[in-house]
Amino acid sequence: TPPTQPFALSPHIYYLLSETNLFLQPFANVTGSLNENGVCQCSVYLPDTTFPVQKVEMLEITARVLSEKFEIELTKVSQYTKAIEMYEQKIQNLTIKVEHMASTSVSYTELDFQLLKLEINEMQRLVTQLKSTLVGSNVIVEQLYVEIRNLTLMVNDLESLDKNNILAIRREIVTLQNRLKECEKERNQTTPPSYFPPGSCGHGGIVNISKPYIVQLNWRGFSYKYGAWGRDYSLQTPEKDLYWVAPLNTDGRLLEYYRLYNSYDDLLLFKNARERRTTYGEGSGTAVYNNFMYYNIYGSVDMGKLNLNTNTLALRKTLPDAAYGNRFSYAGVSWQGMDFAVDESGLWVIYSTEESTGNIVISKLNDTTLDVLHTWKTRQYKPSVSNAFIICGVLYATRPVSTRKEEIFYMYDTNTEQEGKISIIMDKMLETVHSINYNPSDQILYVYNDGYLVKYNLIFQPVLP
């Protein structure tokens, strides 16, 4: 009978033998015989000589050990693959960052570089660790290592480059500043404070303003905080002196009394004043031009033109579209919806309309007829400025900075229809600036400051070539 398990074969080996046809019809042809003791005998013919059982067993053991090792190595490899993938992504991210930094001309702060360097150092540490844990060489890790070194070099390079740029720019700035100083010194030496003849517009606008010169408290007293004052400007007789002072009644709305003085000395000494009464003006937007006083007629959208020789109303005309009543007055000053202004070229009115949504509108007037000749719309909200005046067709607006400082902060050039920001600080004695009137012949601002009459000299800049 053929043995089912001729040797103590492991399933592995059994499988191997069966696969190599060793078991094909193994003992079918055996012939048996009985010996003298009546025991049944048979001979088996094994192919070849002896089967290398020991060798096979050895092979089997080796294979098992190898397979275990293989498993261990396999899990290691998958771990490394994951780590390498992560490092690769990190390098990609960093490369993108560095390339972005290199491609933009923006100067990076040192902090950016420090962070980047930290990240790269951390990676370098990790990769070095990885390298030491891997026996032998690994192409991928080697490459990673090279790439990180490359990145470090790039960042260092970039940093030094940026530093150089900043240093170069700083040097350039210092050189320019020095040249500017020299130029200024030269200009200071050759042209002491630029002089522009009265009525001239050959300058480049206001560049500075003097300290306030306090002339006096208005003649009606401390409680008359609202009002205006100034000096008449006449193209025909520019040298003629006519000073006017128009404090409003204490309600801050009614213009009823005003005074005229024929000289500055008279004004200072309250001497030879001509005191007049008119019925009625509204607000402190009053201006005097060519011996006529212009103001908003009380409770209306009408402009009034008062003859100062006779104290009679020469003309009354509606200012088209002007906002009515106390709407869109100046910040901190009521009832000044209509602010008249005089410059080198004549009479203007500063106001707002409903259509302008409260923004300042400027109209040039024909002083003979009070017709509007031309209108400009600015983008500056009137109730957010404290006052305004016009010089050479350029409107300047002020705003309070503190109780002691006012700032000329906005300008609108009617010649070019361009607006702009400036910053010229005006010291003030008291908090509220109620009116500003400019006189082109002496280039002085006449300011009514909480009942006080104050003057400021303007400093113009030369026209830049």
Ligand X SMILES: *[C@@H]1O[C@H](CO)[C@@H](O)[C@H](O)[C@H]1NC(C)=O
Contact 218, 451 (CB under 8 A): yes
Site for ligand X, residues 4 to 33, rule: CB under 6 A:
28-29
Q: How far apart (Å, rounded) are the C-alpha atoms in residues 2 and 132?
A: 59
Residue closer to ligand X by CB (options 272, 366) is 366
Q: How far apart (Å, rounded) are the C-alpha atoms in residues 79 and 459?
A: 78
Q: Based on the shown chain and the rule CB under 6 A, indicate whether residue 89 belongs to the binding site for ligand X.
A: yes
Q: Based on the shown chain and the rule CB under 6 A, indicate whether residue 150 belongs to the binding site for ligand X.
A: yes
Encoded one letter per residue, x for contact with ligand X by CB under 6 A and - for no contact, window 355-384 reads -----------x-xx---x-----------
Buried b / exposed e along 185-197 (16+ C-beta atoms within 10 A): eeeeeeeeeeebe
Q: Based on the shown chain and the rule CB under 6 A, indicate whether residue 210 belongs to the binding site for ligand X.
A: yes
Compute the least distance from the CB of residue 169 to ligand X, in Å: 24
Stretch that binds ligand X, among 41-49, 50-58, 87-95, 441-449 (CB under 6 A): 87-95
Contact 331, 348 (CB under 8 A): no
Element (H, E) at 260: strand 254-261
Q: Give 123-192 as a DSSP string.
A: HHHHHHHHHHHSSS--HHHHHHHHHHHHHHHHHHHHHHHHHHHHHHHHHHHHHHHHHHHHHHHHHHHHS-
Residue closer to ligand X by CB (options 138, 384) is 138
Compute the least distance from the CB of residue 172 to ligand X, in Å: 21
Number of residues that bind ligand X (CB under 6 A): 20
The packing angle between helices 110-133 and 53-103, to 10°, is: 170
Compute the least distance from the CB of residue 189 to ligand X, in Å: 9
Pick the binder of ligand X from 10, 156, 177, 188 (CB under 6 A): 188
Compute the least distance from the CB of residue 402 to ligand X, in Å: 17
Sort 458 into a burial class: Cβ within 10 Å, 0-12 / 13-18 / 19+. Answer: buried
Q: Based on the shown chain and the rule CB under 6 A, indicate whether residue 208 belongs to the binding site for ligand X.
A: yes
Contact 243, 441 (CB under 8 A): no
Strands of 382-439, DSSP E: 387-391, 394-400, 405-413, 418-427, 433-439
Residue closer to ligand X by CB (options 330, 460) is 460
Compute the least distance from the CB of residue 45 to ligand X, in Å: 9
Compute the least distance from the CB of residue 20 to ligand X, in Å: 19
Q: Give 298-316 as a DSSP string.
A: TTSSEEEEEETTTTEEEEE
Compute the least distance from the CB of residue 229 to ligand X, in Å: 22
Token couple for 136? 């032998």
Site for ligand X, residues 91 to 130, rule: CB under 6 A:
93
Pick the binder of ligand X from 85, 99, 142, 184 (CB under 6 A): 184
Residue closer to ligand X by CB (options 156, 369) is 369
Footprint of ligand X (CB under 6 A)? 28-29, 86, 89-90, 93, 146-147, 150, 181, 184-185, 188, 208, 210-211, 366, 368-369, 373
